[in-house]
Structure 1
C-alpha cells in the first residue's frame, strides 16, 4: 500500500508540473482511456460531383441519420483557396500575443466574436486546451470587421472568397437534406431562416500539449447550429461518438467535414442526429480547424417541420426562438 501511495503521489506531481490541474479531464473523459482502439468504421465520405443527384441525397440522408456527420469531396471549393484560408489563419495565430489581443472579445460583450485564449471553463471548472478567433462572415449586414485581422493583409480577401464558395455548398447540402426526407428542396433552408441564415466562422487553434493523454481541445458536445462545415489541418484530433465508442475521424485532404447540429435534429423531429464530438490535442504539433456554424437569426422560431408530424410521429421537441434555445444550451438549462 505504501508503494502504491508513493507512486500515486509521484504521478500527481508529474502531472501538476506538466499541465495545470484545471486542464486535466476526469478519467471518464481522458482520451488515453476512452479512445476506441479496436476496428472501427470510417465516417461516411460522399462525392458531391456524382451526376445522380438522388443517390447523393440518399447518401447524405443516410449519413445524417446513422452518424450525424460525414465528409464531402469534390465540393467545388478550390484546393488552392483552402490552402490560402489555412495559411491566413495560421499566420494570425503565429503573431505575438499582443497583436492577437487587439482582436480580443471585449469583457462585457454578450457576443461570441473575437479572439480568446484558454479562458473559459465548463460546468466542472475545467478548461480546454485551445485558442480561437470567432467572427461572422455572412450576411454582410451582420459583419463586424473589428474582429477580422488585418495581418496577414489578404485575410479579408481570402475569407470573403471562401464564404462565397461555402454558400454554394450549403445550398446543395440543404437541398439534399430536404429531399432525403421526402420534402421540397427548399424546405429545410427556409425553415432556418433562408437568406437570413447566419454564417459564423471560428478558427480553432490547439497548441502542442505536454500531456495530450489528460487534456481535451474541446470537450464532448453537439453543435447548437443547423449545420457546421469544417476544414481541418492535417493534424488528427476530431473524434465522434459512434455506437458508444470514441473513434478518430480519418483525415482526407481538402475534404469538408459536415456536422449535423441541434437545429437540424429538431427540424427533422429526430430523424437526423446531431453528432456528439470532441477534439483531442497533440504533443508535437498544433492542430487547427476552420468551422463555419450556420445559425438561424436569434428571433427565428425553430421546431419540428409540420410535414414530418403525424399521430404516429408526434413532435419530440419544443418550438422556440433560437436565442432562447441558445441561452438554455449554454447555461445547461432544460429545453
Structure 2
C-alpha cells in the first residue's frame, strides 16, 4: 500500500486561491505526462475510433427483429468497448436536470458549508464530502473533490449525511436511483441472454433486487491552472457490475482502447454506461471492463454523477460462471468476494495469485 500523503486542502480551495502552478503531489509521473493533451481539442477530433452510442428506444419493441437488433448492438458494444453512450434510456430529462442542478448547487456552497458533510476516510467512513487520498497506484493526488453516498436500496441509505441544501437534492436523487435500478435490470437481462443464459441470471449473480447496491459519487473537477500535468481521476477500471454516468457536458472522460486513449464525446441527453469488473469476471472476460481516466482543464469546471451498481461485499463469490468456461476458454479470474476484489484492486493486498486484472493494468501502464 502506498503511504498516505499528508492532508491537503480541498482541490476547490486550491483552484480558487489563484495559484499558477499546482503542488507537486498532483503532478503525474513523467511517463504518463506525454499522453495528456488538451481535452477540448481531443473531444472535437472525429478521427479514429469513437465510443459507441446505443439507442434503447427499441429495447422492449414488440417487433422481434427490431428488439433483437437493439439487444445485439448493446451486446457488441459491451464486448468490444465495455462502455457506451445510452440514449432513449427511459430516464426523464426533467429528472436528470433536477439531479444535475441539485448536485451543482451543493458544490456551489461555500467549502465550510460542505465540510459539515465531510467523511472520515482514516476511520473507514467513505460516505460524504471528500477529496481523494493517495492510496492509488501512482501515490499522487487527483484534481477532484467529491460527494459519495449509497442511494439504493432505500433501507440501506444514511439520509443523515445527505445534503439538506439544496432542498430538492434528496427527492431528485431518490427518484433517479429508482429509475436507474430499473434500467440496470434491463441492461443485465440483455447481457445475460447475450451469454446464452436465462435473462435474470446475471441479476441474480450480482445480488438481485434486494442485494445490489447503488452508490453515487458526484465528482467535482475545478479549473486547473496546469491541466497538462494533472488528472481528475487516474487510469482505473470500475469494480462495479455496471456504472451509469451523467456529466455537465464538459469533456473529460478518456478510454484506453486498442492501445490509445480515446476521448468520449459529449452526447446530449445520454447516460454513459460502463461494464465493471464484476460483469467482466462473471462473463470470463467476454464483456470488457475498460481502463479509463478523467482529464481536467483550465477553462471550465467539470462535474460528473457516477452511480456504481455493486454486489454485496461478502455474500457472493465472484468467479467466471460455469457456462462461460471451457477447455479452450479456461477461467481468467480466481474466486474472490467483492470485498476481496476491492482490497486487491485498491490496496494491492493479494491473498491469491496474480489475476487477469493485474495483467491488464500492468499492460496498459507499459503501453502509455
Correspondence for 1:200: 215
Correspondence for 1:255: 270
Question: How does 1:125-140 map onto structure 2 within 5 Å?
Answer: 125-140=139-154
**Pairwise CA distance, 1:330:** 1.1
Correspondence for 1:26: 29
Correspondence for 2:4: none
Corresponding position: 1:98 with 2:101: no
Correspondence for 2:173: 159
Cα 1:268/1:97, change in 2 over 3 Å = same
Corresponding position: 1:304 with 2:320: yes
Correspondence for 1:58: 72
**1:121, 1:171 → 2: CA distance?**
33
Q: 1:318 aligns with which of 328, 334, 357?
A: 334
SS in structure 2 at match of 1:173: helix
**Pairwise CA distance, 1:119:** 4.2
Q: 1:238 aligns with which of 240, 246, 253?
A: 253
**Pairwise CA distance, 1:121:** 5.1
Indicate conservation of the 8 Å contact 2:135/2:346, yes or no.
Answer: no
**Pairwise CA distance, 1:68:** 1.1
**2:255, 2:46 → 1: CA distance?**
15
Task: Tell me whether 229-238 or 325-334 shows the greater mean CA deviation.
Answer: 325-334
Give the count of matched residue pairs. Answer: 320
**Pairwise CA distance, 1:112:** 2.3
Question: How does 1:147-186 map onto structure 2 within 5 Å?
Answer: 147-186=161-200
1:222-254: per-residue Cα shift (whole Å, max 9, x none)? Answer: 001111111111110000011111111011111
**Pairwise CA distance, 1:123:** 3.6
Indicate conservation of the 8 Å contact 1:228/1:260, yes or no.
Answer: yes
**2:340, 2:264 → 1: CA distance?**
32
**Pairwise CA distance, 1:192:** 0.8
**1:56, 1:147 → 2: CA distance?**
40
Correspondence for 1:42: 50
SS in structure 1 at match of 2:303: strand
**Pairwise CA distance, 1:181:** 1.4
What are the ranges of 5 or more consecutive residues in structure 2 without an aligned counterpart?
A: 1-18, 356-368
1:36-67: per-residue Cα shift (whole Å, max 9, x none)? Answer: 77822211111111232222221111111111
SS in structure 2 at match of 1:161: helix
Indicate conservation of the 8 Å contact 2:26/2:140, yes or no.
Answer: yes
SS in structure 2 at match of 1:92: helix
Task: Tell me whether 313-322 or 253-262 shows the greater mean CA deviation.
Answer: 313-322
**2:121, 2:283 → 1: CA distance?**
37
Cα 1:132/1:263, change in 2 over 3 Å = same
TM-score by structure 2 length?
0.83
CA RMSD of aligned residues (A): 1.8
**Pairwise CA distance, 1:93:** 0.5
**2:325, 2:256 → 1: CA distance?**
28
What are the ranges of 5 or more consecutive residues in structure 1 without an aligned counterpart?
A: 1-15
After TM superposition, what 4+ stretches of structure 1 lie above 6 angstroms from structure 2? 34-38
Correspondence for 2:131: 117
SS in structure 1 at match of 2:190: helix
